[in-house]
Amino acid sequence: MARYKVVPTKTNLARLKRDMNFAQEGYDLLEQKRQILIVELMGLIDRTADAQEKSEKSLAEAFHALQQAVLSMGRTSVTDLAKGIHIDSDITINFRRIMGVNIPKVEVEVRDYAPYFSLSNTSFWIDETIVHFKTLLNEIGRLAEMRISLMRLAQEVQKTMRRVNALDKIAIPDFKESVKYIEDTLEESEREMFAMQKVIKERLQKTTR
């Protein structure tokens, strides 16, 4: 704890008290912000965990289908086929703000211009793979949205907590100590003044008598 370097006067006392109130208000607001952010974060964590689990399962299925396709047709043919695929995916990202944090909102639109290869000589697994990876794009879009939001919210929580702590543990105690110092000093000098006045009064009475 450190006291601010101030001359103990009534003006400085008033100013310090005003600043202290300001810091206190800031602390209250930031604390509120932190709580709101944490509530948001908590809800999002659960939803993200669910989405992640789901998409990881789909991903595992997709990789399984791909492996089967590669096994039955050979890697070269699959790679060649991929060149002919005509699927277009469009992502739209909008940002909204929660407590000053930019939260993305992702929309994925997948357009499929099938057919793009002959059905003969291609494995059933190829179609499976395509369907799997196509659906994955939507899931990944949603997951990306949530993960990024989560990360940014978490970062903001951290920042807010640092500020809350700085006010709570450093700024406000410092103000309190400085205010106390000035108040004590002023009181002390008032007492001195009072005592001095008494002495003067007594002396005056003595001389007049």
Partner 1 sequence: MGLKFYTIGDRETVLGFSLAGVPGQVVSTPEEAVEALDAAFKTEGLGIIIISERVAHDIREHVNQYLYNTSFPLIIEIPDRDGPMEGRGTVRDQIRAAVGVRF
List the interface residues with partner 1, window 135-154 (CB under 8 A). 136-137, 140-141, 143-145, 147-148, 150-151, 154
Q: For partner 1, which residue of 35, 158, 165, 189 counts as binding (CB under 8 A)?
A: 158
Among 9, 21, 32, 92, binds partner 1 (CB under 8 A): 92
Q: How many residues bind partner 1 (CB under 8 A)?
A: 57
Least distance from partner 1 to the Cβ atom of residue 171, Å: 21
Among 13, 16, 23, 78, interactor with partner 1 by CB under 8 A: 78
Q: Select from 6, 161, 172, 186 the one that contacts partner 1 (CB under 8 A).
A: 161
The secondary structure element, H or E, covering residue 106 is: strand 101-112
Q: For the CB of residue 42, give the shortest distance to partner 1 in the complex, in Å.
A: 6
Asked if 102 interacts with partner 1 (CB under 8 A), we say yes
**What is the DSSP secondary-structure string of 7-73?**
---HHHHHHHHHHHHHHHHHHHHHHHHHHHHHHHHHHHHHHHHHHHHHHHHHHHHHHHHHHHHHHHH
Give helix 172-208 / helix 10-73 axis angle, nearest 10°.
170
Between the CA of residue 124 and those of 69, 121, 180, what are the distances in Å? 8, 10, 82
Residue 87 found at the interface with partner 1 (CB under 8 A): yes
One residue of 6, 59, 73, 186 binding partner 1 per CB under 8 A: 59
Amino acid identity at 44: L
